[in-house]
Structure 1
Amino acid sequence: MALKYGCSINSAVEDENSEENSPLLQKEAEELSVPPKCCSARCNLAIMMFFGFAVVYGLRVNLSVAMVAMVNGTNSQPSLNGSETHECPGALNSSSQSPDQLDGVPRYNWDSQMQGMLLGAFFFGYLFTQIPGGYLSGHFGGRIFLGGGVLCTAILTLLTPLAAELGARWLFALRALEGFGEGVTYPAMMAMWACWAPPLERARLMSLSGAGGNFGAFVSFPLTGFICHSLGWPAVFYWCGGAGCLWAILWFILVSDDPRKHPRISDQEKEYIVNTIGSEGGSHGWSVPLLPMLLSVPLWAIIITQMCSNWSYYTLLTSLPTYMDTVLHFDLRQNSFLSALPYLGGWLFSVLSGVIADNLLERELMGVTAIRKIFTVVGMVVPAGFLVAVAFSGCSGGLAVTFLTLSSTIGGASSAGVYMNQIDIAPRYAGVLLGITNTFGTIPGVLAPIVVGQLAKDHSLTGWSNVFYVSAGVSVVGAIIFTVFGSGKLQNWAVSEDEREADRES
């Protein structure tokens, strides 16, 4: 029964052109007892993941704000003609003129190119563990990899002040190792949701858990600025590392890989999850259809679109505090608070988008493909327009912050689009697919800070305008590609021969 239902519900939901499946979906959904979502084991898992990814992003972005305090005058680098560039004389405060830093805390003479390299170092390591993490999570379960990845990154974060004291090369290596440890976390999340998320609840559960990233950035930016101002920048890494270790302990105590293994789940919820997911969830074994994956057009659409979307996201994530400091001249506390605002909107909008997407699917108003494409286009094209508006805002700090906040807020819509499309097209291999797409999607994390360091090395309005133009253009290209080539249908290579035979017999 589990196999039959699992195949039937996915065929009904994901094949918009097969009207004969709709009555079957409605009939079986009515017969199956749906347990309450509130306080359920699957909801609790989403909340644990939410706070886990909040910690993950805290560990990832702490250097972005701390860099302003670590560097000896981030906006005192010479321009190309040998003079300093100050195009916004009416700024509120210049952190270079009045360093908001405790006495005795070390500062380093790193130019803008070195800062870009250090901010991008995390992603050099992040690249290498995405695919292995997704593959191993799909075979062994994601619990150990998600929790272990956060724990390893947290422990390394505690060593950041020591690495900075030893030199930029040591800090670069440490940040790359942090990325190496954290690279398994998102593929492990996808592998777990393949076992835990009923098809009609995927968007809301995965959006809620993934929204922890934006929430973590929102909290980390102002908190990092406050700690830098009050305790000195080294304390930032001690606090973030400690929070990561604490979360990892709770994760290993409270979470299970599979609903069948969860000690506190109700029988009703366990039956509901197992029956709706069917045999598409669970371990994929050691065998993975690599060649069909490489030839899959919908998968390449996800890969390219995520790369394009991540370009603007990582540009803001790593370089926004530098823009606030060197162009708009906000002081350290203003900088960290204003840098956080865009992620508040992104967090709220991504959760809301997941709920709306699932409601559209439950009411059969749209098919999966249409929903994923609409939310992707809205989450990439509209934010691109606001990034262009930032370029035209000039020295107006209020306008710049407003447009950046609107851009990141509406960008949260893509969390119900391309960012969960892997589990639509191949639930069983979702962890592997996310590893693949995130590997390519991490390339902008490596390149974007370096490109920003080159385009904005003179800290001019023109240089930063070019940064925003490039980000906007890349986002629009990604939205077009997904609109043309994306799909929400279960792919043939993601279904085993046994499942095909059972589906034919049913």
Structure 2
Amino acid sequence: MDEKPTTRKGSGFCSLRYALALIMHFSNFTMITQRVSLSIAIIAMVNSTQHQDPANASTEGPVMDLLSNQSRGIKDFSTRAAVYQWSTETQGIIFSSISYGIILTLIPSGYLAGIFGAKQILGAGLLISSLLTLFTPLAADFGVILVIVIRTVQGMAQGMAWTGQFTIWAKWAPPLERSKLTSIAGSGEDVIGCVCCVLWFTVIYDDPMHHPCISVREKEHITSSVAQQSSSPRRSVPIKAMVRCLPLWAIFMGFFSHFWLCTIIITYLPTYISTVLHVNIRDSGVLSSLPFIAASSCTILGGQMADFLLSRNLLSLITVRKLFSSLGLLLPSLCAVALPFVTSSYIATIVLLILIPGTSNLCDSGFIINTLDVAPRYASFLMGISRGFGLTAGIISSTTTGFLISQDSESGWRNVFFLSAAVNMFGLIFYLIFGQAEIQSWAKERTLTRL
């Protein structure tokens, strides 16, 4: 007898797959917090108004004097705490060093996660990154080289934690819920790392078949939805076919463009707020958090909208992917181009700075998860390559930004944003022309016929 595929949604929001998305949300939140915390702290660490000694970059006021008067404000504290002679170019290298580390582990960790399972790799990456964050302040006292080394190793750990997520979603996310689930998890990217590790190792499983607490209804819903995908953990990777695949290159170019501007916002936002708007470090930290709140909200909202359009058959899958990719690349470009012309208006500048990462994260429902559409068997491996393209863009953009603003602050920031908009437009046009959503022939499961 022929059986109709089930259309039941399991337990809905009260289900293990949504709990998995929530834990991933907090894990990603932890990693992005660990990444951007130095961007905020560096405003006080390289206080240019402080006289600096040439030796290793640091001077410190008497510690006991600081402790004797705890009522002093943040401004006073920043002038008495350690100050390092890190030039704008050096800061660019420090900011980009974590991206170097991520690149080193993206492809191998994604491949290994597909073979051995993602749970251990992701958990270990999160734990290592969390521990290294604790050692960063101490490393700064020993010199900038050690800071760069710590950040690079931390990037390697985060690369392990980020890449394997798509291996898990290839097995846990029903096709019509992929945008929703991955957006909930991804919105966390925008102290509690060790707690997340405990949850990760005790609650997360690589696939729903082996989870001891999953309901039969939810297990049937997930497995029937992803039945067309390969269940074999060992498989060769068709590198040649991937290299010749234009839809994959469209995804790679989308990542390159998206990460170019996003990396600038993540790493240089506190510096921009401090130097252009002349805001103190306390208020700068508050203002710097607003774009990330907007980004998380837009990510979740975009995922809900994308899955709604797909579940109601209002738009085809490729139309949804290209629509959200267009919104996620075009809107932040317009905001970036407008920024240099509204610096005289405090409110307008803050609004645009909030809108850039917020609208940019709509890409999460576009090309960001497109590898799950075109090659679900190799989603984790391809996500590693995709993020490699993105992080390469982040390294270039961070270094370029540091160089441009060191020449002249006003014209430098203008050139930074204009260049970012041009890169975004290149990626968008390439994706609109070559992007697809069908499973590629080389990514399909080959059934062996026995006589």
Q: How many Å apart are 1:32 and its aligned residue? A: 4.0
**Partners of 2:401 and 2:416 within 8 A in 1:** yes
Query: 1:213-253, CA deviations, whole angstroms, 9 ceiling, x for partnerless residues?
Result: 12xxxxxxxxxxxxxxxxxxxxxxxxx3xx21221112101
Q: Does 1:152 align with 2:118?
A: no
Q: Secondary structure at the match of 1:207?
A: helix
The aligned counterpart of 2:29 is: 54
Q: Does 1:403 align with 2:352?
A: yes
The amino acid across from 1:118 in the alignment is I
- 1:356-505 matched pairs, under 5 angstroms: 356-458=305-407, 460-498=409-447
Cα distance change, pair 482–100 in 1 and its aligned pair in 2 (3 A): farther
Query: 1:348-378, CA deviations, whole angstroms, 9 ceiling, x for partnerless residues?
Result: 1111111111111111121111110011001
CA distance in 1 between partners of 2:51 and 2:380 (Å): 45
The amino acid across from 2:90 in the alignment is M
Q: Does 1:322 align with 2:256?
A: no
Match of 2:8 among 33, 38, 59: 33
CA distance in 2 between partners of 1:442 and 1:370 (Å): 27
The aligned counterpart of 2:178 is: 202
Aligned length: 430
**Partners of 2:265 and 2:357 within 8 A in 1:** no
Give the percent of matched residue pairs that are identical in Structure 1 and Structure 2.
Answer: 36
Q: How many Å apart are 1:74 and its aligned residue? A: 7.5
Cα distance change, pair 327–32 in 1 and its aligned pair in 2 (3 A): closer
Cα distance change, pair 314–76 in 1 and its aligned pair in 2 (3 A): farther
Which runs of 5 or more residues in structure 1 are unaligned?
Answer: 6-27, 78-97, 215-239
Cα distance change, pair 201–329 in 1 and its aligned pair in 2 (3 A): same
Q: Does 1:338 align with 2:249?
A: no
Cα distance change, pair 114–45 in 1 and its aligned pair in 2 (3 A): same
TM-score (norm 1): 0.81
Q: Does 1:252 align with 2:228?
A: no
- 1:261-272 matched pairs, under 5 angstroms: 261-272=210-221
TM-score (norm 2): 0.91
Query: 1:366-405, CA deviations, whole angstroms, 9 ceiling, x for partnerless residues?
Result: 1111110011001111110011111111333322111111
- 1:27-176 matched pairs, under 5 angstroms: 28=4, 31-73=6-48, 99-101=75-77, 105-176=81-152
Cα distance change, pair 71–61 in 1 and its aligned pair in 2 (3 A): same
Cα distance change, pair 99–277 in 1 and its aligned pair in 2 (3 A): same
**Partners of 1:69 and 1:100 within 8 A in 2:** no
Q: How many Å apart are 1:280 and its aligned residue? A: 0.8
Structure with more relative contact order (C-alpha pairs < 8 Å, separation 6 or more):
1
How large is the Cα RMSD of the aligned pairs?
2.2
The amino acid across from 2:386 in the alignment is T
CA distance in 2 between partners of 1:33 and 1:453 (Å): 52
Q: How many Å apart are 1:407 and its aligned residue? A: 2.1
CA distance in 2 between partners of 1:180 and 1:210 (Å): 19
Cα distance change, pair 259–454 in 1 and its aligned pair in 2 (3 A): same
CA distance in 2 between partners of 1:294 and 1:33 (Å): 38
The 10-residue stretch of structure 1 (100-109 or 319-328) with the greater mean CA deviation from structure 2: 100-109
Which runs of 5 or more residues in structure 2 are unaligned?
Answer: 53-73
The aligned counterpart of 1:219 is: none
Q: Secondary structure at the match of 2:95?
A: helix
CA distance in 1 between partners of 2:50 and 2:244 (Å): 47
The aligned counterpart of 2:62 is: none
The amino acid across from 1:193 in the alignment is W
The amino acid across from 2:181 in the alignment is L
Q: Secondary structure at the match of 2:226?
A: helix
Q: Secondary structure at the match of 2:177?
A: helix
CA distance in 2 between partners of 1:40 and 1:255 (Å): 13
